[in-house]
Amino acid sequence: MTQQSQSQMDAPMVETEAKPGDGPVILGIESTCDETAAAVVRGKQLLSNVVASSMDEHARYGGVIPEIASRAHAESFVPVVSKALADANMDISDVDAIAVSAGPGLAGCLAVGVSGAKSLAWSAGKPIYGINHVIGHVGVTQLQFGDLPEDTLALIVSGGHTSLLRVRNIATDVQVVGSTLDDAAGECFDKVARLLGFPYPGGPYIDRHGQQGDPTALKVPMGLTQGRAGAEHPYDFSFSGVKTAVARWVEARRAQGLDVPVDDVCASLAHSVATVLSRKAIDACKRFDSHTLIVGGGFSANSQLREALAQAGRTAGIDVRIPRIALCTDNGAMVAMLGSNLMQAGVAPSALDFPIDSAMPLNRVSMS
């Protein structure tokens, strides 16, 4: 008998503790924007994860075209869901429930995913959860880091959202602590990137060029951090002033016939946005006595933000959990994981006639 199995016998509690793979099998389906995605989760264990993106089809328009994205979802739904089940060695009869993003997102895109998921649920006789996509970005971290502590705070940053959430119980108790009053962080990066001539989505280009530039070259404002506005909105964000300041600076250089130092512009923008996001998120953790900060959404791939948060978390003694990039961007695993949380918490499934909600409030975890 080895040392390890001996100690397991001495401590029978270990045998009865929940393992990540204990729990219901959930098929998660995502179609809020330009990714058609499906995944299978058992408990907190990821069994498969399939993503098809229509991003390339939008690039020449400089942004996501809802009609094109909806059509792409209609094309990809069956292949993506079939592959997610096949990769997990399952068919629909092995699944305990289906979860699908019901909002927030583009209405036509949501309609495709929700209609497909409802048809599957109805024909296979399975319960269905219409879940909140943004809260899915919080839930997905459990696949990498394990359970969420009760005092969790979450910073969700994407092309459409910049929000601070207080998550006491991911299935039943999520509150909005702050959000952007205008542009989301990703939207701000995409708009500046367009001005600099980068293709859509421009966020990753700003990131890469910013790594080689001087972050102090331009004085970029830090929205809602100072004076009365800062005091009135301690946990809200504003990025439209940031975008305008950078645009004016670039246009003035061009008007004078001067070169635009692209790396410096990117570095200064990235520094301003990463500083504001990390400072406000850590301040909110202190205010709400949270020792865990979850970070999610496509923009959390940003290297300047990841570094600023890791450093601020170390200084403040806060456990900052930023998942690997594939779990930051939109995927089916986030939907399946939240479905698993809902089912395990005993939350009733959604009625089969639940609607989509393109502006689904962030304190609503699922549709009734």
At how many degrees (to 10) do helices 262-287 and 185-195 cross?
Answer: 170
Of 116-124, 143-151, 173-181, 199-207, the segment contacting ligand KG4 by CB under 6 A is 199-207
Min separation Cβ 158 and ligand KG4, Å:
3
Residue closer to ligand KG4 by CB (options 204, 261) is 204
Residue closer to ligand KG4 by CB (options 26, 156) is 156
Is 299 an interacting residue with respect to ligand KG4 (CB under 6 A)? yes
Is 186 a known ligand-binding residue? no
Is 203 a known ligand-binding residue? yes
Task: Give, as one character, the DSSP assignment of residue 216.
Answer: T
Q: Which residues bind Zn ion (CB under 5 A)?
A: 158, 330
Chosen from Zn ion, ligand KG4, none, partner binding at 129 (C-beta under 5 to 8 Å by type)? none
For residues 252 and 229, what is the distance between their CA atoms, to the nearest angstrom? 28
* Residue ranges in the chain assigned as alpha helix (H): 3-10, 13-16, 55-58, 66-87, 107-124, 133-139, 142-145, 185-195, 203-210, 227-232, 240-255, 262-287, 303-316, 325-328, 333-344
Within 10 angstroms of residue 319's Cβ, the number of other Cβ atoms is 15
Among 158, 180, 238, 278, binds ligand KG4 (CB under 6 A): 158
Is 301 an interacting residue with respect to ligand KG4 (CB under 6 A)? yes
Among 23, 113, 297, 349, binds ligand KG4 (CB under 6 A): 297
For residues 3 and 7, what is the distance between their CA atoms, to the nearest angstrom? 6
Is 207 an interacting residue with respect to ligand KG4 (CB under 6 A)? yes
Is 227 a known ligand-binding residue? no
* Strand 97-103 with 162-169, pairing: unpaired
How far, in Å, are 158, 162, 219 from residue 358 at the CA level? 16, 16, 36
Site of interaction with ligand KG4 (CB under 6 A): 33, 158-160, 186, 189-190, 201-204, 206-207, 297-299, 301-302, 329-330
Known binding residues for substrate are: 156-160, 190, 203, 207, 302
